[in-house]
Amino acid sequence: MGDVILENIVKQYEDVTAVENINLNIKDGEFICLVGPSGCGKSTTLETIAGLTKPTSGEITVADREVTYLPPKDRQIAMVFQNIALFPHMNVHDNISFGLRLRNFDSKEVKKRVENAAEILQIKEILDRMPDELSGGQQQRVAIGRAIVRDPEVFLMDEPLANLDAKLRVHMRTELQRLHKELGTTIIYVTHDQAEAMTMADRIAVLNKGELQQIAPPLKCYNEPANQFVASFIGSPSMNFIEGKIRSGGFESTHINVDINIGNYDDLSIGDPITLGVRPEDVYPKSNSPEIQSQSDPIDAQVDVLEPMGDEIFVYLRLNVGAEDGPTVTETSSADQLLMSVDPDSDVSTKDNIELVIDREKLHLFESGNGNAITHGIGEQTALNQNR
Ligand code: ADP
């Protein structure tokens, strides 16, 4: 069974802690994405699972066997890297079967496995071609074919689509999901691209500075981020954050006032600094928000910049409306600006003065300082941080 368990994994390079006490419990057949900004420890974590890097401390179990110090070949895993590195002088068939032939598999078994992989990857008709006759997507499929024929318990993939162009990348995402369904094998996939993680994974593990921030299904990370880092990293464009403080019965900042039931949070007192988070799609022009059950008080704003994206418009708003000839959004402090996304047919123009409302069910509150989530929405109190 392809379970992968990481217990208290630490990887220390001389003065850098690349991985800081990571615990993961990945179930057989799961598709997990390790996601986070460059340098957050994704590749190092994957390399410790692969056996390419030894952890400084901690224990790794793959397929019910402790493998912490075993060489890669004894771990029941297969890796696919960003750099495809096919052998240029071998055709596709020989590239895929190379590892098996090296291990002296008999020719019947080799044939069976290559045909099976070619079938799954839909590359049967190119088995005779040389690598320089293949497109980028076909080359990546061949690299995945090399991993499939090994029949591993776990696939480890390190940014395998990063070198492909944007359109092909989106196509290959679907292909990988199909592959995962067909094979049912555990996949641990590293990417810095949150959209890739959101669309493919059963659960995503968000890392920052070597530490696991949250592991949960994509929508849970989106709707109930464990902290401000996850809230800002997951979702594009990023969530708005407004610094303010607690007042009796709600949140207040220079420009925004929202009623929130904060009576249940024993650690919070009136006047405490706090950060309100709201996604651009949860901010509405008041005139266009009849369907929202639970609105904030109106917020005065002026449209500063419009970014039409085709299927939506990003509206950059300035909240210090009274300030005559105020600075543009790029020059104001974050407390004075807000990003809203609206339908493409919305009637908004630069310099319009509008009233906004926030959907209170969709707002988030974070502790100032450590950024931990306090609550999501204003409905029933959510059990916080249960996936951290
Ligand atoms: P990511 O894959 O998220 O971009 P990495 O796991 O590659 O991040 O790196 C995590 C941190 O560890 C970075 O600060 C990186 O510079 C450092 N690091 C990685 N490999 C080494 C190494 N061999 N020697 C020293 N520092 C390293």
- Give the CATH number for residue 210: 3.40.50.300
| pLDDT score of 337 more than 80 | yes
* 217 shares a domain with 252: no
Q: At which of 176, 197, 232 does a domain end?
A: 232
CATH, residue 299: 2.40.50.140
Burial profile 168-190: b = 16 or more Cβ within 10 angstroms, e = fewer: bbeebbebbeebbeebebbbbbb
Q: Which distant-in-sequence residues (6+ apart) come within 8 Å of 296 by Cβ?
A: 256, 257, 258, 259, 357, 358, 360, 363
Residue 131 is given by DSSP the state G
267-315 pLDDT tens trace: 788 899 999 999 999 999 988 776 778 888 899 999 999 999 999 999 9
* 255 shares a domain with 120: no
* 191 shares a domain with 145: yes
For residue 75, count other CB atoms closer than 10 A to its CB: 21
Nearest CA to ligand 1 atom 10: 41
* 212 shares a domain with 110: yes
Q: Residue 332 — very low, low, confident or very high, per pLDDT cuts 50/70/90? A: very low
Average pLDDT over residues 248-277: 84
Which residues contact ligand 1 via a Cβ below 6 A? 13, 16, 18, 36, 38-44
pLDDT at res. 205: 98
Q: Residue 381 — very low, low, confident or very high, per pLDDT cuts 50/70/90? A: very low
Residue 62's φ and ψ, nearest 5 degrees, are: -125, 130
* 252 shares a domain with 162: no
* 204 shares a domain with 55: yes
Entry pTM: 0.90
pLDDT at res. 331: 45
| pLDDT score of 42 more than 90 | yes
* 181 shares a domain with 37: yes
Q: Which pair of tokens denotes residue 140?
A: 């990546």
* 300 shares a domain with 158: no
pLDDT at res. 156: 96
Percent of the chain clearing pLDDT 70 (strictly above): 92
Q: How much distance in Å is there from the Cα of 84 to the middle of ligand 1?
A: 21
Domain count, the chain: 2
Of 12-21, 143-152, 284-293, 363-372, the least confident: 284-293
What average pLDDT does the structure give for the chain? 89
| pLDDT score of 190 more than 90 | yes
Selection from 240, 227, 264, 270 nearest residue 252 by Cα: 270
Selection from 66, 28, 64, 34 nearest residue 47 by Cα: 34
Q: Residue 385 — very low, low, confident or very high, per pLDDT cuts 50/70/90? A: very low
Q: At which of 202, 232, 262 does a domain end?
A: 232
Q: Residue 336 — very low, low, confident or very high, per pLDDT cuts 50/70/90? A: confident
What does the alpha-carbon distance between residue 252 and residue 261 come to, in Å, rounded to a whole number? 13
* 248 shares a domain with 216: no
What does the alpha-carbon distance between residue 32 and residue 215 come to, in Å, rounded to a whole number? 9
pLDDT at res. 263: 61
For residue 120, count other CB atoms closer than 10 A to its CB: 18
Q: To test ligand 1's pocket by mutation, which of 20, 34, 44 has the most ligand atoms within 8 angstroms of CB?
A: 44
∠ CA 19-25-29, rounded to 5°:
120
The widest CA-to-CA distance across the chain, in whole angstroms, is: 81
77-123 pLDDT tens trace: 999 988 878 999 999 999 999 999 988 999 999 999 999 999 888 89
Nearest CA to ligand 1 atom 13: 39
pLDDT at res. 330: 46
pLDDT at res. 90: 95
* 243 shares a domain with 228: no
Q: At which of 200, 215, 232 does a domain end?
A: 232
The ligand 1 atom at the shortest distance from the C-alpha of residue 11 is 12
Percent of the chain clearing pLDDT 90 (strictly above): 66
The parent domain of residue 249 ranges over: 238-387
The ligand 1 atom at the shortest distance from the C-alpha of residue 47 is 6
Average pLDDT over residues 50-66: 95
- Of 335 and 48, the one with more pLDDT: 48
* 245 shares a domain with 166: no
* 279 shares a domain with 192: no
Question: How far apart, in Å, are the Cα atoms of 299 and each of 188, 200, 336?
Answer: 44, 37, 12
Average pLDDT over residues 339-360: 92
